[in-house]
Structure 1
Amino acid sequence: MIHVRPAIDLDASSMAALLNKIIEQGGTTALVTKVTAADLKDRMASDSGRAAWHVAVNDNEKVMGFQWIDAADYLPVEAAEIATFVEVGQTGLGIGSKLFDATKKTAKALGYTWINANIRADNEGGLIYYQSRGFQDYGRIEDYELADGQLVDKILKRYDL
């Protein structure tokens, strides 16, 4: 059974390991450089004050996925940026749905009125995930340069709370 709860510092190592597997696999995240637990702890600690981090854990407290929202400089104050990561090989099992249920409630409590998803155009699974949650396309970024120099297009999707 999957349970969703707020992420804590002790989750950072598991979250980093999960994210690094996704980065190694390639093609679904704009991140191209591995992260450490310290990187994620720093990110959680230095948020805007309007961030929320959730983890999906199994009965043994193994992190199976995580999701965060936070303000972003390129978005209006009423909008949150979202990122979602699920253990490689575990997509399509409802983990992302449970994470988003928790995130929606928290986003409203933090005063957001909509959530922005910024997804690589070649990330079919991510596009399907956000579409199935009710996100609607509203923009596109062409030739976005990743840290390794690769150019990708990005689809912008919006979810009104």
Structure 2
Amino acid sequence: MIIRPATPADVPRLIDILNQIIEIGGTTAYQDPLDAGYLDRFFTGNSKTFLHVAENVDGIQGMQWMDALDPPNDHIGGIATFADPTTTQRGVGTALFDITKAASLAAGYSELYAKIRADNTGGLAYYEKMGFRDHLVDRAVPLKDGTPVDRITKRLKLDPSH
């Protein structure tokens, strides 16, 4: 498995993965299909915003991105992780996080946050395994169909010595 920065040439595959996950439902807050322009922010040269992909001989298997919160909180980054729902690739998330964590420290982040749907048990377990801890809960956020689902924000303080 190779972890590398995403390139604009990767965008069609990344949007395909995202839209498959959205169509399946239940593991992302996104509910409407995304277009390629959604990922433009990762190719602007902003050192606080980046996107990595996990790739093997079969192609891109997953991605992880980091976005800065609006100033004055640009020391806190928002992370999101997505894996191809049609394959099972053990270790993709961990491999991505190792690179994202190092890049986050290099970009000056001191804390990361992830907002996960409460019904996304796999996502909650993944971020817990990576060291994130519960920070707050937004209760009963309605989906498009009106179904209320809690959103759990997890946070991780980065330690530059590790």
Shared fold by TM > 0.5? Answer: yes
Aligned to 2:127: 130
Identity of aligned residues (%): 42
For structure 1, which runs of at least 5 residues remain unmatched after alignment? Answer: none
Contact 2:61–2:89 (CA under 8 A) maintained in structure 1: no
Structure 2: distance between partners of 1:92 and 1:44: 24
- Give the alignment of 1:24-63 within 5 angstroms: 24-40=23-39, 42-45=40-43, 49-60=47-58, 62-63=59-60
Q: 1:43 to 1:49 in 2, by over 3 A?
A: same
**How far 1:46 sits from its partner (Å)?**
5.4
2:108 matches 1:111: yes
Shift in Å, 1:78: 1.5
5+ residue gaps, structure 2: none
In 2, distance between residues paired with 1:75 and 1:145? 29
TM-score (norm 1): 0.89
Alignment size in residue pairs: 158
Deviations 1:60-108 (A, max 9, x none): 5x11000001112398222100000001144560000000000000000
Aligned CA RMSD, in angstroms, stands at 2.1
1:16 — aligned with what? 15
Q: What residue is the counterpart of 1:97 in the other structure?
A: 94
Contact 2:47 2:107 in 1 (8 A): no
Residue aligned with 1:15, SS: helix
How far did 1:36 drift?
2.1
Contact 2:21 2:27 (8 Å CA) reproduced: yes
